[in-house]
């Protein structure tokens, strides 16, 4: 078993990027104080922040966890396990602290975990073990000039044309005449993958709306996305763009009375439509 402690930031970055890139499903659980049994959920990783030492996850079920209990994560896609605690919670959306350590499992460890937790671990785990050496390819978008739609690859054009032409809901129709580019609501739980200028991390966030002129996404940590910051959009959901969309953060406002979730508005650089 390989144990990675919290001081090994490059290795933690590689693990979290692996989960982000593949949008891997995490087995997530807490131990009930009353019964001592594991209450099991599933989640996916959103953003992670090495300076603040926290990351966001969203449960795939519309459940609410106990913020006072430890939370455990196991990733079959990579074969590692860790526990940590909840920093902030908004329904199924969580901000949790970096773990003190992450354990990469070997076969005996995986079988032991299966017996203790009841989590089924198929033999395909051998093919899903994360590669902990070799180069990473997360900087391929950085420093590249934005392209107009006509110069994009056929693959990008097909995808973006479909995304920009989703059926409008009533709110969009009401405000359509007041916008240069009509905003459309994406499909439920649509995600956007982006990076900020000067930030090597890729953030996976819930997309709020989208148009040829800009977009908005949701976050529980608005201070990580200050106004005036350049944004590089590298993909949506499981789709990675061949060429990025580039924009500027223009606004930030709360979307609920408790100020737990914020909408960040982005205007795309001119010439990309």
Tens-digit pLDDT profile for residues 99-116: 999 988 765 455 555 555
Report the pLDDT value the prediction gives residue 156, as an integer from 0 to 100.
Answer: 92
Residue ranges of the chain that CATH labels 2.30.110.10 = 2-128
pLDDT interval class at 18 (50, 70, 90)? confident
Mean per-residue pLDDT of the chain:
78
Report the pLDDT value the prediction gives residue 116, as an integer from 0 to 100.
Answer: 54
Q: Read off φ and ψ for residue 250, nearest 5 degrees.
A: -110, -25
Pick the CATH number of 149-268 from 3.50.50.60, 3.40.710.10, 2.40.10.220, 3.30.1320.10: 2.40.10.220
Report the pLDDT value the prediction gives residue 202, as an integer from 0 to 100.
Answer: 78
Pick the CATH number of 2-128 from 2.60.40.1120, 3.50.50.60, 3.30.420.40, 2.30.110.10: 2.30.110.10
pLDDT above 50 for 135: no
pLDDT above 60 for 87: yes
pLDDT above 60 for 181: no
Report the pLDDT value the prediction gives residue 238, as an integer from 0 to 100.
Answer: 77
Partnered with residue 83 across adjacent β-strands are: 72
pLDDT above 70 for 210: yes
Collapsed DSSP state (helix, strand, coil) of residue 230 = strand
CA 92, CA 261: separation in Å to the nearest integer? Answer: 12
Residue ranges of the chain that CATH labels 2.40.10.220 = 149-268
Instruction: Show the tokens assigned to 70.
Output: 């430890």
Partnered with residue 70 across adjacent β-strands are: 85
pLDDT above 60 for 89: yes
| DSSP letter, residue 269 | P
CA 45, CA 205: separation in Å to the nearest integer? Answer: 9
Q: Nearest to residue 55, comparing CAs of 110, 105, 18, 30?
A: 18
pLDDT above 80 for 225: yes
Cα–Cα distances (Å) from 20 to 25, 153, 200, 255, in that order, read 10, 24, 13, 25
Report the pLDDT value the prediction gives residue 167, as an integer from 0 to 100.
Answer: 38
- Tokens 């902030």 correspond to 88
Partnered with residue 231 across adjacent β-strands are: 196, 247
Task: State pLDDT tens for residues 42-66.
Answer: 998 888 888 888 999 999 888 889 9
Report the pLDDT value the prediction gives residue 154, as an integer from 0 to 100.
Answer: 92
């Amino acid at each position: 078993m390989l144990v990675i402690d919290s001081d090994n930031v490059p290795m933690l970055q590689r693990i979290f990027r692996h989960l982000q890139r593949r949008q891997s499903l995490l087995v997530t659980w807490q131990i009930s104080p009353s019964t001592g049994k594991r209450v099991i959920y599933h989640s996916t990783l959103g953003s992670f922040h090495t300076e603040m030492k926290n990351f966001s996850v969203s449960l795939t079920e519309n459940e609410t966890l106990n913020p006072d209990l430890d939370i455990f994560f196991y990733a079959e896609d990579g074969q590692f396990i860790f526990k940590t605690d909840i920093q902030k919670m908004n329904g199924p959306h969580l901000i949790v602290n970096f773990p003190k350590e992450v354990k990469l499992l070997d076969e005996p460890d995986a079988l032991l975990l299966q017996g203790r937790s009841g989590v089924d671990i198929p033999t395909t785990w051998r093919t899903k073990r994360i590669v902990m050496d070799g180069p990473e390819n997360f900087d391929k978008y950085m420093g590249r000039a934005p392209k107009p739609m006509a110069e994009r690859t056929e693959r990008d054009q097909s995808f973006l044309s479909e995304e920009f032409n989703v059926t409008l809901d009533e709110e969009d129709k009401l405000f359509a005449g007041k916008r240069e580019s009509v905003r459309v609501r994406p499909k439920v739980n649509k995600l956007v993958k982006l990076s900020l200028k000067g930030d090597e991390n890729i953030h996976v966030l819930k997309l709020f709306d989208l148009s040829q002129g800009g977009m908005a996404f949701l976050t529980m940590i608005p201070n990580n996305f200050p106004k005036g910051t350049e944004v590089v959009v590298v993909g949506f959901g499981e789709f990675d763009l061949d060429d990025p969309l580039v924009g500027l953060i223009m606004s930030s406002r709360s979307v609920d009375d408790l100020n737990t979730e914020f909408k960040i508005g982005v205007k795309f650089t001119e010439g990309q439509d």
